[in-house]
Amino acid sequence: MAASEENSSLFPIFILTIMALPLVPYTIARLCRAASKKTKTIHCQCSSCLRSGKYRKSIFKRISNFSTCSNLTLVLLWIIMGILVYYIKHISRETQPFEPFNILGLEPGASDSEIKKAYRRLSIQYHPDKNPDPEANKYFVEFISKAYQALTDPISRENFEKYGHPDGRQGLKMGIALPQFLLNIDGASGGILLLGIVGVCILLPLMMAVIYLSRSSKYTGNYVMHQTLSNYYYYMKPSLAPSKVMDVFIKAQEYMEIPVRRSQDEPLQKLFVLVRSELNLDLKNIKQEQAKFWKQHPALVKTELLIQAQLTREAAEIPTALQDDLRHVLELAPRLLEELMKMATIPRPPHGHGWLRPAIGTVELSQSIIQAVPFSARKASGGFAEGIAPFLQLPHFSESVIKKIARKKVRTFQELQDMTLEDRASLLTQVAGFSAAEVQDVEHVLEMMPSITIEVTCETEGEEGIQEGDIVTMHAWVMLKRGNGLIGALPHAPFFPFHKEENFWVLLADSLSNDVWMSQKVSFMDEAAAITAASKAIQETKEGSGATMKEINAAVREAVEKVKNGSRLIMGKFQAPAEGSYNLTSYCLCDSWIGCDKKTGLKLKVLKRSRAGTRGGAVLEEGPAVDDGIEEEEEEDDEVYDDYESEYSEDEDDGKDAKKIEGKNKKKNSTVANGVAKGKREGSGSSSSDSEDE
């Protein structure tokens, strides 16, 4: 019985240990992540951002942000652990070790007369003849009598001094840390014990494995569905216009699963009226165009209308029944756009290059969603060569304000930025009618906007010049500066309801052929990670070139200093193409700000192969060629579609001309014309799985 009680008392310790093993490191990781995130959130201080409530730290918002399922579960588990600790501490008081001197209330080494006197005193208090209480009887028999015997009987005292117990050497006791009722195998307790063993040892691990496998088979590491990547890969086209990127973006599986209820038909009809001008419907056949729009999948219609409401800043007019869906759509947008960008720049056969035009369109769509600027604002109109979109991201700016400052010959965003503080304040107060506080808001945002400089070099490591088939290494230093001196900060985005870190995409592309040779995402938020990556890359490069340790350390110190001053190192490799001169362009595109993109030219000369062997490894296998008929159909669609003029439209037009010439040459070698459409469908499935692995 005593053994079973001892085993039962070990059960809370066992449960406490099992809970603490995963809970303590998980809690530490959550706290560290929250602390690092808190240090990063340097946001815009203009009145528009503060009024949006996104950064407001009220007690109710803190409670709502904290009251997530994971946080509440974490707190509940810690409360259970606290209760277990208190219970174990209470049990430890009851199960104290056998100490005869303490039981009799004596100091160690007391004489026999003192032991007998203490025994008689306790006997008067606890002896069954003097005290009828059963607990007193139990204490007298199990503790007082044994303590007196251990100190007066020579054999018992010798056993206590040698083995710590009056009964002599005690055997090794082993038990099971389970409650006492489970240790009784008779009756129903045996079934409970069996079910517990089967549940904990078999069913629980099996259930966790099933949940993990089902989730991993459905989602990627970026919490995007595999079906979404497959859809993006299939619908992505090389000649995709920037405004047509929306049609591919809304085909994400996450958006397709948004429920559309009958009660939302009327709110969607009202929303359609609000954003109809941005849907690029043919006004000559407006009834047919509207009917065609509503014949789409209901989830696609709903998603596009909600995104257009965000772009046109009509979110406040959205009915209450659609507000939650709008927040859900916008919450998923950043990571879906990131995956869409990867699908645009993923290497594809036959040359292993991505596509530039859809990549630029994806970034511009991201900018428009974050800043809540419609596509129509990007069109060149009214003397604004780059459109009015960059102006609309400034606080208190509207179309009427932009027209007023245009009369003072300020027609580009760069002209507004280049003005002195006094001239700009005079322009905004006297011409636009801004107050001093509104002018200060504009200055806050202009100081937050990043200015990008990029330096790119390409070389073959350990060799002079670049020859056909070489593995070319690209080094790019991207430098960021702001007027307020910050490096990492959250962008000004009062109409986007979530925190959004600004990211930059560095592309090395040939604008004439619409090919992206290399792409990489850059962030300026995590300085420690950037220092580690730059140090490692510089060290490996220098070691490969045979530099001394002193030279390596000097180069690493220089790179670390650059990173601390607001630079990021981008390194990538690509295989050198055939002999010739290539006029490449390096793009640095921001996914959050409009008008902050940077592009620089780069001339790459590839020599004829003269070195022995191939340093490029395996050459990419050529896949099925794109059907010429499909290309012509895409080009016709582009002509019919009223597309806005991107800031890169000149390069894109050149790319279209080059595509037409290339299409004519392909017609002479149409050896793979049969079954191209079928091959394209089959290839999209296999290629999408490859892209997911990447």
Which pLDDT belongs to residue 230?
A: 94
Res. 176: pLDDT tops 80: no
Res. 200: pLDDT tops 80: no
pLDDT tens digits for 455-491?
999 988 878 889 998 999 999 999 999 988 888 888 9
pLDDT tens digits for 153-175?
777 777 776 766 666 666 555 55
- The angle formed by the CA atoms of residues 195, 198 and 201, to the nearest 5 degrees, is 140
| Residue 452, φ and ψ in degrees, nearest 5 | -110, 135
Give the pair of three-digit tokens for residue 47.
């009145």
Candidate from 79-83, 188-192, 392-396, 625-629 with smallest mean pLDDT: 625-629
Decide which of 305 and 464 is more confident: 305
Which pLDDT belongs to residue 401?
A: 92
Cβ contact 200:21 at 8 Å: no
pLDDT tens digits for 568-606?
999 989 999 999 999 999 999 999 999 999 999 999 999
3-state secondary structure 451-474: EEEEEEEEECCCCCCCECCCEEEE
Which residues, including other chains, have CB under 8 Å from residue 642's CB and lie 6 or more apart?
A: 280
Mean pLDDT of 524-533: 90
CA-based R_g, the chain, Å:
37
Amino acid at 353: H
Cβ contact 388:402 at 8 Å: yes
pLDDT tens digits for 251-292?
999 999 999 988 888 989 989 988 888 887 877 888 888 889
Which residues, including other chains, have CB under 8 Å from residue 39's CB and lie 6 or more apart?
A: none
Res. 318: pLDDT tops 90: no
Which residues, including other chains, have CB under 8 Å from residue 559's CB and lie 6 or more apart?
A: 534, 535, 537, 538, 569
Which residues, including other chains, have CB under 8 Å from residue 369's CB and lie 6 or more apart?
A: 307, 310, 311, 330, 333, 337, 496
Mean pLDDT of 524-546: 89
List strands edge to edge, sheet with 567-575: 451-459, 471-481, 567-575
